[in-house]
Amino acid sequence: MKKSALQKARAAYQPKLPIVLTGAVKAVEGHATNSVADQEEIKKLFPNTYGLPELRFEKSTNTQPSKPVNVGVILSGGQAPGGHNVICGLFDGIKKIHRDSRLYGFLMGPGGFVDHNYMELTAPFIADYRNTGGFDIIGSGRTKLETKEQFDKGLEILKELNIKALVIIGGDDSNTNAAVLAEYYKSINAGVQVIGCPKTIDGDLKNDVIETSFGFDTATKVYSEVIGNIQRDCNSAKKYYHFIKLMGRSASHIALECALQTQPNICIISEEVEANDMTLAQIVDQIAGVVAARAEKGMNFGTVLIPEGLIEFIPAVKRLIAELNDLLAKNEAEFAALAPADQRGYILAHLSKENAAVYESLPEGVARQLSLDRDPHGNVQVSLIETEKLLSEMVAKRLDEMKAAGQFKGTFKSLHHFFGYEGRCADPSNFDADYCYALGFNASCLIRAGVTGYMSSVRNLTKPSVQWIAGGIPVTMMMNMERRHGEMKPVIQKALVRLDGAPFQKFAAKRDEWALNTCYVYPGPIQYFGPAEVCDQPTMTLKYEHQGK
Amino acid sequence: MKKSALQKARAAYQPKLPIVLTGAVKAVEGHATNSVADQEEIKKLFPNTYGLPELRFEKSTNTQPSKPVNVGVILSGGQAPGGHNVICGLFDGIKKIHRDSRLYGFLMGPGGFVDHNYMELTAPFIADYRNTGGFDIIGSGRTKLETKEQFDKGLEILKELNIKALVIIGGDDSNTNAAVLAEYYKSINAGVQVIGCPKTIDGDLKNDVIETSFGFDTATKVYSEVIGNIQRDCNSAKKYYHFIKLMGRSASHIALECALQTQPNICIISEEVEANDMTLAQIVDQIAGVVAARAEKGMNFGTVLIPEGLIEFIPAVKRLIAELNDLLAKNEAEFAALAPADQRGYILAHLSKENAAVYESLPEGVARQLSLDRDPHGNVQVSLIETEKLLSEMVAKRLDEMKAAGQFKGTFKSLHHFFGYEGRCADPSNFDADYCYALGFNASCLIRAGVTGYMSSVRNLTKPSVQWIAGGIPVTMMMNMERRHGEMKPVIQKALVRLDGAPFQKFAAKRDEWALNTCYVYPGPIQYFGPAEVCDQPTMTLKYEHQGK
């Protein structure tokens, strides 16, 4: 592996642990917990792991030696900066428990666990991955750990390797599955603890006890860097509107955080669109209105941030897609036999009046995509829709009408960007490097404490890392019942952007000023070696959320 | 202007000047110069500014005071990181000549000069822009300074403001025009010097005496950062081919530099495609061959870098476009009257056999784009073609054929990226911050030396900046005659990637290894405050070019 100069310099960085984890610790139990909702049902589904107490680690004077422990680790789902440091922290933690402890990594995600593909992670191997981005140390994958067969198959390899604890690094779904696995192993007395770690750049795995998921900090900083650069270009050339789509289908935390960091002219927040039952036409009107108002002031340029999942949050589009899925599934053969030129008319004739109007308002390419590109289950593939182009095309059309009506006197030229893969594997910021290392190290403490069904928890994150609070949260505490694929399931509640939360409120208070003026901020690239106010700041989201407390 | 933490910290950075420029200097003349080609014609066109000597500044003991000088400055063409520092260096330089010197910025490019839109740049105003990216200090524009009317109109405002020297910061075309303007002002004894500064992220304004254009360093580092991040993602998920298009229509320096920094699986170099008269099908075969060979080794993922201008370098496509332009111009009405479904057939029937075959090989969307989207002059808009998607689509088709023939046993899923605007206005690297400041400061020395028709030259750039050599190069020295819009014109010779040059040779020696293995390097974001080996490295292109000397 040829290393870049930065990688070499960063390898020497020693992540800062919470002070409490630097010596011997004891687990102090808090009150017994309840799930956030549906307590009776969740309790019934998790008879062995429901109602456990929160744990908090405190300094201990007990330094009696421990026995070695073998641990397995899985990276699950999409990449997030800092995953390697979780593994490094875990490794250092179990080596501190006993130098003969061993760490096994399952390869390419949960699939490696089920199929017994693994490798032992040794000190020299680990050394190459300290403070680096990516999940390439053992790879990741999207296999879902859900069935008894998978759990039993995985248990075989755990027994073979004498693994007593499994750490699953993943998002809300993966941690939900970790909790189900913990419950199962407990119920059969398998003798294997299961610990989760909160990962996702989307920032939607958080709650009262998990302040943020790792990777969100770094990814939003990378996106803000390039958005800032684009805004500086925009403000230099003064002739383009940049429509910038940002990864994150389920929630708009990324778009909101980037907006707080860069102060674009417009940022759409999906949760607000849904709450206000906004139509696509209203969103288009809103953007076109800002373009026209800026043109009045002589500014024919601007930036628009769009969350990737927007289209699925627009109630009218959701209803259209539902009816389309239904219509095309029921009449598959008939529809397939039509000449391409007749398909549009067919769809319009068969849709309800309301949905036909929405369908008709869409640009032709998007409408075609909605009716043709379906996944193996026959569903419209919403993720293929280039929302940034869809919006700019509709805005252009709207502005043409406004121009004809004398309501727009400027010019409108658009450019498009989509940022996602650019940030998921970036080298972790100091924050994520420290946070992840602490999460992993803390997981080793939970293992030593003998618990299962817990998520590694490190809190007080807006304070310097030495002051962070470490402990464990029973995963069942974060759960409620939700409908998934037609069935009610116990799942970790996803954290959407709260419209009454401080981050959104700060944005809402400023956005009109940002729209009609040019208030761009240029954050620049993540710095690792400079002054603390440049290198060691958490996200604005976290800052505002903590200010509110 | 709300500043980011990094901006505030960077404002304090004092760019390092070449040691020779830190005290009084004298201009030492070298030999008289000749243009790189077409000497007689260029000499005839530049009777007053041809054959001037190269200048080199040396320390002087003469510290006698000078009179104040008023200077104008223009940012011309696309943005490049460091433009603000050229202006800061120029400002500090003329203030060193005399504290009553004044600097005027013409707004939004050469258009501001012709239309008399300007502002005085004062010390507190300048202070906000030190070491920042963007051209927003005075804006830029693409108006071409070419006509006597423009020159005379501009002279009016120069006279009004008592401006004795004009500094034009631009690429090869803008510096060509600067030379023409210098010649004209000299010929009429206007009493105004004209000095150029070599700007362009594309890196194609360089030669034996101008080692690199500013902005290339920073822009390629930003692109390499995100390419590295994508590669880390690619190597973690192991399931996608990322097709990454990079800005730069005229030359492939950006793609080559990024390849040297990140070691992708494939990087296409337009100059090589042209030199080898490669067809689109051959490029597709080459990529598909690598995909198949990697699949044999179990790797169904990879990265492909593509220079933006590729399509215009493919001789067969160039010939097709030329015939299409001709055909559609001659038969405009007839073609426009056709039903869309008949257009393809019409074109195929009217093209020569060779060009028809190329047209037929193109994916439908691209073929349609070629025939429909024409600019106001009736020409095909090649820049609209999404080359990254064109290639991945054709590769997918080729792989399907190979699969049917048993020559490909893997999977192929592609994702697309285009990076350009992300890097043009980034905060300048230490290299570009220093280089630009030196170029601007050096321009003030050329002004004091009383010369005109010179380009600011700072050399020895792979050495620490204090050892850099400063001077001036007569612009005519870089010129030859080229056909532009049907006429022979004197222009600065564009620097394409040299296939016999060290940077390309280094790449060519390694690319097979990079193709069949996974040798990705992850450069990470530009650092400003860390160790010198991280913060103060010039481009690999520059290093290899100097090693060869």
Residue for token digits 């030669």? Answer: B207
What gap in Å lies between CA A178 and CA A166, rounded to an integer?
Answer: 9
| A387-414 average pLDDT score | 96
Q: Which of B136, B301, B388, B389 to probe the A interface (max A CBs under 10 A)?
A: B136
Q: Do A242 and B134 touch (CB under 8 A)?
A: no
* Cα nearest neighbour of B78 on chain A: A237
| A280-294 average pLDDT score | 97
Looking at residue A206, its pLDDT comes to 96
* Three-state DSSP class for residue B219: helix
Looking at residue A373, its pLDDT comes to 65
Chain A residues within 8 A of B340 when measuring between CB atoms: none
B280, amino acid identity: L
Query: Closest approach of chain B CAs to the CA of A479, in angstroms?
Result: 29
Could you tell me which residues come within 8 angstroms of residue A343 by beta carbon, excluding any fewer than 6 positions away? A335, A368, A371, A372
Q: Which residues pair with B303 in a beta bridge?
A: B242
**Confidence tier at A376 by pLDDT (50, 70, 90):** low
**Confidence tier at A133 by pLDDT (50, 70, 90):** very high
Query: Is the pLDDT reported for residue A548 higher than 70?
Result: no
Chain A residues within 8 A of B140 when measuring between CB atoms: 236-237
What gap in Å lies between CA B111 and CA B144, rounded to an integer?
Answer: 8
* Neighbour tally for B71: CB within 10 Å: 26
Q: Characterize B324-336 residue by residue with b for buried, 16 or more Cβ atoms within 10 angstroms of its Cβ, and e for exposed.
A: bbebbeeeeeebe
Query: Closest approach of chain A CAs to the CA of B383, in angstroms?
Result: 13
Q: Which residues pair with A26 in a beta bridge?
A: A58
* Cα nearest neighbour of B134 on chain A: A232
Query: Is the pLDDT reported for residue A536 higher than 90?
Result: yes
Asked if A440 contacts A88 with a C-beta cutoff of 8 angstroms, the reply is yes
**Confidence tier at A62 by pLDDT (50, 70, 90):** confident
SS (H, E, C) B530-541: CCHHHHCCCCHH
Q: State pLDDT tens for residues A111-121.
A: 999 999 999 99
Could you tell me which residues come within 8 angstroms of residue B82 by beta carbon, excluding any fewer than 6 positions away? B133, B199, B214, B215, B218, B428, B432, B433, B435, B436
Chain A residues within 8 A of B8 when measuring between CB atoms: 533
Task: Using a CB–CB cutoff of 8 Å, tell me whether A6 touches chain B.
Answer: yes
CA angle centred on B307, ends B302 and B312, rounded to 5°: 130
From residue B94, give the alpha-carbon distance in Å to each of A401, A526, B446: 52, 35, 11
Question: In this predicted structure, which of A414-428, B308-322, B362-376 has the lowest mean pLDDT?
Answer: B362-376
Chain B residues within 8 A of A522 when measuring between CB atoms: 4, 7, 132-134, 427
Looking at residue B328, its pLDDT comes to 84
Query: Is the pLDDT reported for residue A202 higher than 70?
Result: yes
Considering CB atoms only, which of B233, B263, B427 is closest to A425? B233
* Cα nearest neighbour of A420 on chain B: B230
Question: In this predicted structure, which of A19-33, A445-459, B234-248, B330-344 has the lowest mean pLDDT?
Answer: B330-344
A329, amino acid identity: A
| B197-205 average pLDDT score | 97
Q: Per the structure block, which two tokens stand in for A292?
A: 């026209």
Chain A residues within 8 A of B423 when measuring between CB atoms: 229
Q: Do A521 and B3 touch (CB under 8 A)?
A: yes
| B68-95 average pLDDT score | 98
Task: Using a CB–CB cutoff of 8 Å, tell me whether A238 touches chain B.
Answer: yes
**Confidence tier at B385 by pLDDT (50, 70, 90):** confident
For chain A, what is the radius of gyration of the CA atoms?
A: 25
A100 φ/ψ angles, rounded to the nearest 5 degrees: -90, 5
Q: Do A6 and B235 touch (CB under 8 A)?
A: no
Query: Is the pLDDT reported for residue A378 higher than 70?
Result: no
Q: Do B4 and A523 touch (CB under 8 A)?
A: yes
How many helices (H) and strands (E) are present in chain B, helices listed first?
A: 23, 15
* Three-state DSSP class for residue A303: strand
**Confidence tier at B378 by pLDDT (50, 70, 90):** low
Higher per-residue pLDDT: B363 or A204: A204
Q: Per the structure block, which two tokens stand in for B331?
A: 């038969």
Task: Using a CB–CB cutoff of 8 Å, tell me whether B236 touches chain A.
Answer: yes
Looking at residue B373, its pLDDT comes to 65
Residue for token digits 């390697």? Answer: A84
B202 is catalytic: yes
Q: Quick one: DSSP state of residue A22?
A: G
Looking at residue A126, its pLDDT comes to 97
Kindly name the residue from A92, A172, A202, A427 that is annotated as catalytic. Answer: A202
Q: Do B134 and A10 touch (CB under 8 A)?
A: no
Q: Per the structure block, which two tokens stand in for B325?
A: 């332009």
Q: Do B236 and A79 touch (CB under 8 A)?
A: yes
Q: State pLDDT tens for residues B5-22.
A: 999 999 999 999 999 999
Looking at residue B549, its pLDDT comes to 67
What gap in Å lies between CA A491 and CA A498, rounded to an integer?
Answer: 19
Looking at residue B541, its pLDDT comes to 98
Looking at residue B251, its pLDDT comes to 95
Query: Is the pLDDT reported for residue B465 higher than 70?
Result: yes
Q: Quick one: DSSP state of residue A428?
A: P
From residue B145, give the alpha-carbon distance in Å to each of B112, B148, B184, B252, B478: 11, 9, 12, 27, 19
Query: Is the pLDDT reported for residue B548 higher than 80?
Result: no
Query: Is the pLDDT reported for residue A383 higher than 80?
Result: no
Query: Is the pLDDT reported for residue A219 higher than 70?
Result: yes
Chain A residues within 8 A of B528 when measuring between CB atoms: 527, 530
Query: Closest approach of chain B CAs to the CA of A17, in angstroms?
Result: 22
**Confidence tier at B331 by pLDDT (50, 70, 90):** confident
Chain B residues within 8 A of A133 when measuring between CB atoms: 229, 232, 522
* Cα nearest neighbour of A418 on chain B: B417
Q: What is the largest CA-CA distance in chain A?
A: 82
Q: Which of B1, B6, B263, B540 to probe the A interface (max A CBs under 10 A)?
A: B6
Query: Closest approach of chain B CAs to the CA of A310, in angstroms?
Result: 20
* Cα nearest neighbour of A79 on chain B: B233
Query: Closest approach of chain B CAs to the CA of A225, in angstroms?
Result: 8
Beta strands in A60-178 (DSSP E): 70-75, 102-106, 118-120, 163-170
Long-range contacts of A116-124 (CB under 8 A, 24+ apart): A116/A153, A116/A156, A116/A157, A118/A72, A118/A157, A118/A161, A121/A73, A121/A87, A121/A91, A123/A91, A123/A95
| A272-285 average pLDDT score | 96
Share of chain B above pLDDT 70, in %: 98
Query: Is the pLDDT reported for residue A82 higher than 80?
Result: yes
| B453-477 average pLDDT score | 97
Looking at residue A254, its pLDDT comes to 98
Q: Do A136 and B5 touch (CB under 8 A)?
A: no
Query: For residue B185, with 0-12 CB atoms within 10 Å meaning exposed, 13-18 middle and 19 or more buried, which class applies?
Result: buried
Task: Using a CB–CB cutoff of 8 Å, tell me whether B420 touches chain A.
Answer: no
Query: Number of Cβ pairs closer than 8 Å across A and B?
Result: 186
Chain A residues within 8 A of B226 when measuring between CB atoms: 222, 226, 422
Query: Closest approach of chain A CAs to the CA of B494, in angstroms?
Result: 24
Task: Using a CB–CB cutoff of 8 Å, tell me whether B428 touches chain A.
Answer: no
* Three-state DSSP class for residue A469: strand
What gap in Å lies between CA A283 and CA A273, rounded to an integer?
Answer: 8
* pTM above threshold 0.95: yes
- Sign of the alpha-carbon dihedral angle for A262, B136, A535, B422: positive
Considering CB atoms only, which of B226, B263, B529 is closest to A527? B529
Residues 285-324 of chain B whose Cβ lies under 8 A from any Cβ of chain A: none
Looking at residue A453, its pLDDT comes to 98
* Three-state DSSP class for residue A417: strand
Residues 212-231 of chain A whose Cβ lies under 8 A from any Cβ of chain B: 222, 225-226, 228-230
Share of chain B above pLDDT 90, in %: 86
Chain B residues within 8 A of A388 when measuring between CB atoms: none
Question: In this predicted structure, which of A296-300, A306-310, B261-265, B370-374 has the lowest mean pLDDT?
Answer: B370-374
Residue for token digits 């009218």? Answer: A316
Could you tell me which residues come within 8 angstroms of residue B265 by beta carbon, excluding any fewer than 6 positions away? B290, B294, B302, B303, B304, B514, B515, B518
Asked if B262 contacts B244 with a C-beta cutoff of 8 angstroms, the reply is no
Looking at residue B248, its pLDDT comes to 86
Query: Is the pLDDT reported for residue B377 higher than 70?
Result: no
Asked if B262 contacts B231 with a C-beta cutoff of 8 angstroms, the reply is yes
Q: Per the structure block, which two tokens stand in for A312?
A: 């699925």
Q: State pLDDT tens for residues A325-360.
A: 888 888 888 888 888 778 888 999 999 999 999 999
* Three-state DSSP class for residue A29: strand
What gap in Å lies between CA B80 and CA B421, rounded to an integer?
Answer: 10
- Average pLDDT value over all residues in chain A: 95
Kindly name the residue from B92, B202, B217, B427 that is annotated as catalytic. Answer: B202
Query: Closest approach of chain B CAs to the CA of A304, in angstroms?
Result: 15
Reported ipTM: the value is 0.96
What gap in Å lies between CA A350 and CA B423, rounded to an integer?
Answer: 48
Query: Is the pLDDT reported for residue A73 higher than 70?
Result: yes
Residue from A11, A109, A535, A431 nearest B522 by CA? A11
Looking at residue A377, its pLDDT comes to 66
Task: Using a CB–CB cutoff of 8 Å, tell me whether B421 touches chain A.
Answer: yes
Chain A residues within 8 A of B76 when measuring between CB atoms: none
Task: Using a CB–CB cutoff of 8 Å, tell me whether B340 touches chain A.
Answer: no
Query: Is the pLDDT reported for residue A249 higher than 70?
Result: yes
Q: State pLDDT tens for residues B140-170.
A: 999 999 999 999 999 999 999 999 999 999 9
Task: Using a CB–CB cutoff of 8 Å, tell me whether B3 touches chain A.
Answer: yes
Q: Which of B117, B240, B425 to probe the A interface (max A CBs under 10 A)?
A: B425
| A2-29 average pLDDT score | 96
Residues 14-73 of chain A whose Cβ lies under 8 A from any Cβ of chain B: none
Q: Do A236 and B139 touch (CB under 8 A)?
A: yes
Chain A residues within 8 A of B540 when measuring between CB atoms: none
- Average pLDDT value over all residues in chain B: 95
Q: State pLDDT tens for residues B231-267.
A: 999 999 999 999 999 998 889 999 999 999 999 999 9
What gap in Å lies between CA A222 and CA B245, rounded to an integer?
Answer: 19
Task: Using a CB–CB cutoff of 8 Å, tell me whether B117 touches chain A.
Answer: no
Residues 498-527 of chain A whose Cβ lies under 8 A from any Cβ of chain B: 519, 521-527
Share of chain A above pLDDT 70, in %: 98
Asked if B421 contacts A415 with a C-beta cutoff of 8 angstroms, the reply is yes
Residue for token digits 């000190």? Answer: A123
| B130-136 average pLDDT score | 98
Looking at residue B207, its pLDDT comes to 92
